[in-house]
Structure 1
Amino acid sequence: MASLRAIRRMFCTAADTAAAPVTGSRWERLKNSKAGVWCRSLFSDYKDASWEVVVGLWERPVKASVYASLLAGTWACFYTKPDCSSFEATLLECSNQLGLLSPWIRNGTSDSHIQSLVKLRNEGRLRHASLGLLSLVYCADYDPDTTLYEAQCSNLSVPWRELPERMLDVGFVGRWWVLDLKMKDCDVNEEEFKHLPAHMQVTLPPSVREVERNEKLHKESWLVLTLEEEGEETNVVNIKEERVSEESQIATLKE
């Protein structure tokens, strides 16, 4: 009896549902569904969050500008971070620049640093690591194509704690800072001046007046002499010769 009552109630409910009029369109039914309610609540949350951000920017412009500057600087550092190919190109450029200099005027520090890097590159021992905002170049023990067990075993690879000791250069904001520092005054051989006194080893930059005077003399050296100036110079020379001849005659008379 209970089963018959349940079956009868089910049929009655189905008939009532079929007889009930359809209210609303398909779009309204989609909005009132679980997926529609969830999407509307998500959109409302994002709208409120965006409005709070706009209000915060309007109320605290200094703080907002600082945050914007930090974000822009971070993006610029990440975008201008040099890669491994950039390091090799810079290394070859520095090597060619030193190759054009004579060994007598070549800086010993720059030459030894570049030669060691070129040797490591030829041996395939240079490694590049990207750390997000900057890049690192360090040396490894073996070439990656070497078939030795020590080179292929991952447990014998270079540990991270030894990275500061093996680090060769740091790339940041599109530059390799150690290379730039080592190549400073690469055409000045300090060994050539070590025997000079201390006051002669130190050179000071010229003052503004000296620079202006040198530029003025350089410009005047390119000027063409006029005939009047040449005539005046010849007159001066003739007067000097006459004076010399008179002095020589007086000296002979005295003798």
Structure 2
Amino acid sequence: MSSLRVVRRMFCAAAETAAAPVTASRWERLKNSKAGVWCRSLVSDYKEACREMVVGAWKRPVKASVYVTLLGGAWACFHTNPDQSSFEAALLERSNQLGLLSPWIRNATSDGHVQSLVKLRNKGQLRHASLGLLSLVYRADYDPDTTLYEAQCSNLSVPWRELLQRMLDVGFIGHWWILDSKMKDYDVNEEEFKHLPAHMQVTSPPSVQEVERSERLHKESWLALTVEEEEKETNVVDRKEESIGEESQIKALKEEQTQA
């Protein structure tokens, strides 16, 4: 009986194996798994989003161009956002420009601003904060290497609400705007002209005619004199001398007649 049962089980297993469908391949099992279904849905969502983006840009080109311009501008600002090393390089360059000038002709505003920044840099109190599209340079109370408790405690650091009061410069599109504005006319000492009258302190730009006349005279000053011009000049001088001699003779004759 036991042998019959074993034979019956073998036949049943063979029949089930023959009746079972062919198993799927590994790639099909991977596609039908949870990860495969999620990846296919994600790709379809992105495909649909790109199609809607293209269709929307075709229907509304002005809106699409505005969005593209904003995104391009944001990328350009992020790419040209200056860092702390660029600020230090700009500060040293401006300091060297002022160092080449005499103290008597330096602009007091430019010199004072640059000197204050150099002192803070030497003390280690300059900080740089990047906001993605622009950067800020502000003043801190302590050097980062100071071992004081007030300098190392994070709870006593500079709060964000005081950042505008401590702000020293703004970096945007590769330029430090406050530093550049302070260096305008850095080689003009306004203290030299404060004693002049009001109408002499204010200068107006020359007109186009005056500029053209100055340029023409400057070009003519470099030209060599020709022989004809030299002869004309000598003739004019001789005539002037002759006229002066005749006038002196006439005066002498008049004086002799009056004495007679």
The answer to whether the superposition gives a TM-score over 0.5 is: yes
Whole-angstrom CA distance in 1 between matches of 2:153 and 2:21: 75
Aligned length: 247
Q: 1:217-246 CA distances to partner (integer Å, 9 max, x unpaired)?
A: 111111111111111111111111111222
1:223 aligns with 223
2:75 aligns with 75
The correspondence of residues 4-153 of structure 1 with structure 2, limited to 5 A, is: 16=16, 19-22=19-22, 25-153=25-153
Residue identity matched to 1:64: A
Q: Kindly name which structure, 1 or 2, has the bigger radius of gyration based on alpha carbons.
A: 2
Residue identity matched to 1:244: I
Whole-angstrom CA distance in 1 between matches of 2:13 and 2:34: 23
Residue identity matched to 2:179: L
1:195 aligns with 195
The correspondence of residues 158-173 of structure 1 with structure 2, limited to 5 A, is: 158-173=158-173
Q: 1:3-53 CA distances to partner (integer Å, 9 max, x unpaired)?
A: xxxxxx9x9689625642416544344433443333322222221111111
Whole-angstrom CA distance in 2 between matches of 1:78 and 1:33: 41
Residue identity matched to 1:49: A
Structure 1 stretches of at least 4 aligned residues deviating more than 6 Å after TM superposition? 11-15
Q: 1:43-76 CA distances to partner (integer Å, 9 max, x unpaired)?
A: 2222111111110010000000000000000011
The 3 A distance-change label for structure 1 pair 15 and 49 is: farther
SS of the counterpart of 2:103? coil
The 3 A distance-change label for structure 1 pair 12 and 203 is: farther
1:175 aligns with 175
Whole-angstrom CA distance in 2 between matches of 1:76 and 1:14: 71
SS of the counterpart of 1:219? helix
SS of the counterpart of 1:188? coil
SS of the counterpart of 1:71? helix
Cα deviation, residue 81, structure 1:
0.8
2:212 aligns with 212
Task: Extract unaligned runs of 5+ from structure 1.
Answer: 1-8
Calculate the TM-score normalised by the size of structure 2. Answer: 0.87
SS of the counterpart of 1:187? coil
2:3 aligns with none
Whole-angstrom CA distance in 1 between matches of 2:224 and 2:183: 42
Whole-angstrom CA distance in 1 between matches of 2:79 and 2:204: 39
1:245 aligns with 245
Residue identity matched to 1:105: I
Q: What is the aligned-residue RMSD (CA, Å)?
A: 2.3
1:5 aligns with none
Cα deviation, residue 79, structure 1:
0.7
The 3 A distance-change label for structure 1 pair 148 and 25 is: closer
Whole-angstrom CA distance in 2 between matches of 1:77 and 1:14: 73
Mean Cα displacement is larger for which, 226-235 or 244-253? 244-253
Whole-angstrom CA distance in 1 between matches of 2:61 and 2:144: 52
Q: 1:66-121 CA distances to partner (integer Å, 9 max, x unpaired)?
A: 00000000011111111111111111111111111222221111111111111111
Whole-angstrom CA distance in 2 between matches of 1:238 and 1:25: 119
Whole-angstrom CA distance in 1 between matches of 2:38 and 2:88: 54
Cα deviation, residue 205, structure 1:
0.9
Calculate the TM-score normalised by the size of structure 1. Answer: 0.89
